[in-house]
DNA sequence: CATGACGGTATCCTTTTCGACACTATGTGC
DNA sequence: GCACATAGTGTCGAAAAGGATACCGTCATG
């Protein structure tokens, strides 16, 4: 959960940039959203796509995304539990943002093991 | 300084999304970059544009942006110190990303004082 | 002589984040 | 009767991020 970056987002024109970051910040939110653009996924399907994320962390990130109205959680009252996650329209509207992030990353981040101050 | 999100960015296709976030995460980096798109700015010019950011924090953010090769720092050996910050080409290449962030924020974040789990 | 502007540092402390690990319930397969 | 899969929750502790505050040197101005 990112800190509350500001109380209001009108302090300067660039503030809404931070406002958006508030939603997609959180160690795994970007990737989770990215995978949900493919379509609805079950909990463990997401887990398998993001192996480094612990179960607890994934739950947290999903809960925050849900609280922010970006995804919905659909529970099936079945015997082996089944929960499906999918994007809300609001979540889907983030697609250009995630795409921009991915394009830049593909061009500038690709397979860089240590990025600058990682050693500090 | 954001934690090292992954060691490598090839774990899944969405990973470069996180890779990009690594650069613009940090409480004030997004806004700093945003303001530098206007053009070169001196230290205190940036400060005045982001009043809620403490001097120490601003210094930190600028140093990290510099270490990541997104901005350059030009020191003039003058009597009242003068330091100018401007974007590198790499930093400027983030413009579509910041713009996407801003567009979404303007449409979805505008003037929301408390955003969801802020009270938690 | 004191104050302010400039561009920072250093130190301390609190809050947040995140990872490890254990634990839950139910039903199925072996 | 035991393990496994599902989708979680709870607790603990370390590390990182970030805020508050004080301090630095120099020159100009009042």
Closest C-alpha to B62, from B27, B105, B16? B27
Contacts of B19 (CB under 8 A, 6+ apart): A105, A108, A109, A110, A112, A115, B5, B6, B9
Specify the DSSP class assigned to residue A96.
H
Which strand C bases fall within 7 angstroms of a protein CB?
5-11, 15-22, 25-28
Per-residue pLDDT tens over the stretch B27-42:
899 999 999 999 999 9
Residue, of A29 and B9, whose pLDDT is higher:
A29
Task: Kindly report the nearest CA distance between residue B1 and chain A, in angstroms.
Answer: 9
Cα angle A95, A99, A105 (rounded to 5 degrees) comes to 150
Strands of A41-42's sheet, edge to edge?
Answer: A41-42, A82-87, A71-76
Of B18, B94, B104, the CB nearest to A94: B104
pLDDT at A110 over 70: no
Q: Which residue has the higher pLDDT, A36 or A17?
A: A36
Residue A120 pLDDT exceeds 60: no
Residue with tokens 């982001």: B50
pLDDT score recorded for residue B90:
96
Under 8 Å between Cβ of B18 and B9: yes
């Amino acid at each position: 959960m990112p800190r509350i970056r500001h109380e209001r987002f009108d302090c300067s024109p660039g503030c809404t940039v931070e406002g958006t970051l508030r939603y997609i910040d959180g160690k795994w939110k970007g990737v989770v959203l990215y995978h949900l653009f493919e379509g609805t996924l079950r909990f463990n399907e997401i887990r398998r796509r993001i192996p480094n994320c612990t179960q607890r962390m994934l739950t947290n990130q999903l809960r925050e995304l849900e609280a922010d109205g970006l995804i919905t959680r659909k529970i099936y009252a079945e015997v082996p539990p089944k929960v499906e996650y999918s994007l809300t329209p609001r979540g889907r509207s983030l697609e250009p943002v995630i795409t921009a992030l991915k394009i830049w990353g593909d061009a500038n981040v690709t397979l860089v093991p240590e990025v600058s101050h990682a050693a500090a």
